Chain A
């Protein structure tokens, strides 16, 4: 952690960069890193909490192995995006913003990915899925579940 912090200067203007970096390292912002960030940047812990909970990029909870992001942009909305989200919520048995118990999937929404031509769009990790439909939800999830199974075999 100290090594990460040493990449940055010692003032508040580095905070968001530091948080991005910590997230890249751990996948989330582990609460125990906050006192260290606070000492390094010479700002209070409450200030750091205030900033990190304000932005949707940062989370204090560990994330699933795969992140499913359903686009909630206007173009996706008029083409049926909400139905896709509902189906993911139903299949994964979690609400958006949460992680499955087996820590395999985190389900998220995003305001717009700017791929409006191919909506409704779903992104799993770095893979984009264009023109998704309710019936495509299960096969998408299966693909990542299978990966896990193959890895175990």
Chain B
């Protein structure tokens, strides 16, 4: 494709691609092939579909589209067949033949590939029927299912780069900033600072050179919406950045991608090359006087790099350590120049705001939080995946209506939002509307959008310990309260989960938390005690049980539980015996099996393999555990 030299040419290219798409009368098999789809074999499915199409010489009738993640990770690998809009889940390569001959050619639905609702059990062949999608408002994510992320023409066909054309043609930088301010959008990376105001600061800063940065160092464990956007729709992120650069007056940009995301790195690099080749990046973009280019920076494995001043230090080739603010990046950022830094999802919203207007955008959400937010709904939940919802929706709607509730007959316990800086929100707060303020009031934060659902088998002390261990590892070491304080907190929490907790421990945790919050420079340190503080606020009795009763009611803390084979239930099938990695299970075929507690390493393999109909392996804690162990050791002595 030759370089696009003017805005008129761009608009022509877009109309042409839209026309081509509309005229395409082929049946399109859209395969979700983001990182998790691939991990479950979607590339093999694509290969096998293409093979069948070639064998049957159907190239003129059927087309396979390799797209990024559609968000419904639970159902991977999944396919949408258009124009019928039939949705198939858990597709295997051997299903290719029947998908093509039965569904694509003859509109016949294959029952075994249909998704059925986890609550009602109802079969749902149409994509639009599926409850997972019904309450979502997929303005940012939705297009992932329409385009091949490595083909810029696909992006043009969904009006891609149209907003850039509009901006360059009819808006001056101040107009763009005013539009973004009026939309009310706030940063999607965690802190929720109003994006338009941030741009204005950077615009007003005087300097010979200015930078913009896309923060794609999505470090919060349990959050992966940014990965999915970069993998599935990289041009939208680029378009947002180009518009932002124009508004601020930046000539150079960086995308800082964490190294753990190889596919995102690959797709964003391909997109950059395409945009450069077509003249959407570089000198005199679309024949205007605006020059701008973007570099990709591959991170090197550090959580604190996600903090803006650390991220800039990392780009400069230094250790990712934060520094004091002010001066804010808008005044003195990368190499001391004014810099504007936004998160991937924020950049991804920009072209949409320009395209549909700030009033439309501001019409979605609540008074203080506008637009949608993408959450990664993971953990103990039926419909795991990425969900994009209007701000203000309640946690209950997300978890039950979209997420389909908790698997098995387990009870909901808490939902963790905001990653290591956030907190655990209990059952009583399920009707909380999700926006920046309400989550903060509940002791958590919006964060980048991780939403980890926990059931009765999740121990809240263990979860707090997990996060503190994480921040201890990731603390850059600059501020002593964070470096030493998190270490001390982990030691106390380790002690409690081992059953060696002391009466003074809870008070000590609270004191340390206060000191770390007050004495740390950056967000990582200041918020690191949040997981402990919220679990203490809502689940204090679990801490007390661990300390005083040596009991973990979630049956999760290894040192506080024991495994036990119920003699009246065991059928002697030997499954557990075979699975035990340390040969701690004794018993002949068709005879009751017994665990040798001296050898048992509590790996839980026996518990996992015991057939659900039998369920002979149980876990016990507290007094009951002591009784079992006592009895077992008495038995050994008698022998």
Contact = CB atoms under 8 A, between A and B. Distances in A.
**A and B from one assembly?**
yes
Interface of A: 11-17, 19-20, 41, 50-51, 54-58, 72-75, 77-80, 83, 86-87, 90-91, 110-119, 121, 128-130, 133-135, 138
Contacts of A20: 259, 298, 300
B320 A78 contact: no
A90 B603 CA distance: 11
Contact of B300 (A55, A73, A113, A128): A55
B292 interface: no
A116 B39 contact: no
B318 A12 contact: yes
A114 B73 CA distance: 11
- Enumerate the 6 nearest inter-chain pairs by beta-carbon distance, A residue then B residue, closest first: A117-B73, A114-B224, A128-B39, A56-B301, A55-B300, A112-B221
Contacts of B365: none
Given A74-B466, A121-B39, A135 B316 contact: no
B454 A78 contact: yes
A129 B38 CA distance: 11
B73 A72 contact: no
B260 A112 contact: yes
A53 to B, nearest CB: 9
A87 B220 CA distance: 25
7 contacts: A12-B317, A51-B319, A74-B379, A74-B450, A83-B603, A87-B581, A138-B581
Most buried by B among A12, A57, A90: A57
Given A90-B581, A118-B40, 16 more contacts: A12-B317, A56-B302, A74-B222, A75-B384, A78-B452, A87-B603, A111-B470, A112-B222, A114-B35, A114-B260, A115-B35, A116-B384, A121-B39, A130-B39, A130-B40, A135-B609
B18 interface: no
B74 A134 contact: no
Interface of B: 35-36, 38-40, 73-74, 76, 218-224, 227-228, 259-261, 297-303, 314-320, 376, 378-380, 384-385, 416, 419, 450, 452, 454, 458, 463, 466-467, 470, 473-474, 476, 579, 581, 601, 603-605, 608-609
B314 A116 contact: no
Nearest to B416: A74
Nearest to B263: A114
Contacts of A135: 579, 605, 608-609
A91 to B, nearest CB: 8
Given A112-B221, A113-B260, A117-B36, A51 B318 contact: yes
Nearest to B459: A78
Nearest to A127: B39
Given A75-B378, A78-B452, A114 B227 contact: yes
B608 A116 contact: no
A57 B39 contact: no
B314 A16 contact: yes
A119 B385 CA distance: 12
A91 B463 CA distance: 26
Given A20-B300, A80-B604, A115 B317 contact: no
Contacts of B603: 83, 86-87, 134
A73 B420 CA distance: 11
Contacts of A11: 317
Nearest to A110: B260
B407 to A, nearest CB: 11
Contact of B605 (A110, A118, A134): A134
Most buried by B among A11, A114, A118: A114
Nearest to A109: B473
Nearest to B304: A54
Most buried by B among A58, A91, A119: A119
Contacts of B222: 73-75, 112, 116
Contacts of A86: 601, 603
A11 B609 CA distance: 57
A73 B419 CA distance: 10
A90 B300 contact: no
A129 B36 CA distance: 10
B619 to A, nearest CB: 13
Contacts of A128: 35, 38-39
Contacts of A55: 300-302, 320
B38 A116 contact: no
B260 A118 contact: no
A77 B221 CA distance: 10
A4 B541 CA distance: 59
A134 B578 CA distance: 12
A110 to B, nearest CB: 6
B466 A57 contact: no
A57 B378 contact: no
Contacts of B227: 114
A78 B385 CA distance: 16
A82 to B, nearest CB: 9
A118 B319 contact: no
Given A13-B315, A72-B221, A135-B579, A115 B260 contact: no
Given A56-B301, A135-B608, A117 B474 contact: no
A50 B313 CA distance: 13
A77 B466 contact: yes
Contacts of B579: 134-135
Contact of B36 (A16, A83, A112, A118): A118
B248 to A, nearest CB: 21
Contacts of A118: 36, 39-40, 73, 76
Contacts of B36: 114-115, 117-118, 130
A28 B601 CA distance: 34
Given A111-B221, A117-B385, A57 B376 contact: no
A19 B450 contact: no
A16 B300 CA distance: 8
